[in-house]
Amino acid sequence: MIVFDLLCSGGHRFEGWFGSAADFSSQKERRLLSCPSCGSVSVERVPSASRVNFGAPEPKALPAKPQQPQPTPEMQGKDPFAIAQMLYSRMLDEMLTKSEDVGKQFPAEARKIFYQEAPARPIRGEATQQEHDELAEEGIPVLRLPVPPRLN
Chain residues binding Zn ion by CB under 5 A are 8, 10, 12, 35, 37-38, 40
| Residue with the CB atom nearest Zn ion in the bound state | 35
CB of 37 to Zn ion, least distance (A): 4
Cβ nearer to Zn ion, comparing 24 with 106: 24
CB of 63 to Zn ion, least distance (A): 44
What's the rounded Cα separation, in Å, for the pair 45 and 19?
15
What's the rounded Cα separation, in Å, for the pair 100 and 122?
6
What's the rounded Cα separation, in Å, for the pair 37 and 113?
90
Do residues 125 and 103 make contact, with C-beta atoms less than 8 angstroms apart? yes
CB of 50 to Zn ion, least distance (A): 20
What's the rounded Cα separation, in Å, for the pair 151 and 57?
64
Cβ nearer to Zn ion, comparing 4 with 106: 4
CB of 42 to Zn ion, least distance (A): 9
Cβ nearer to Zn ion, comparing 41 with 75: 41
Cβ nearer to Zn ion, comparing 42 with 99: 42
CB of 32 to Zn ion, least distance (A): 15
What's the rounded Cα separation, in Å, for the pair 12 and 53?
24
Contacts of 19 (CB under 8 A, 6+ apart): 1, 2
Cβ nearer to Zn ion, comparing 35 with 142: 35
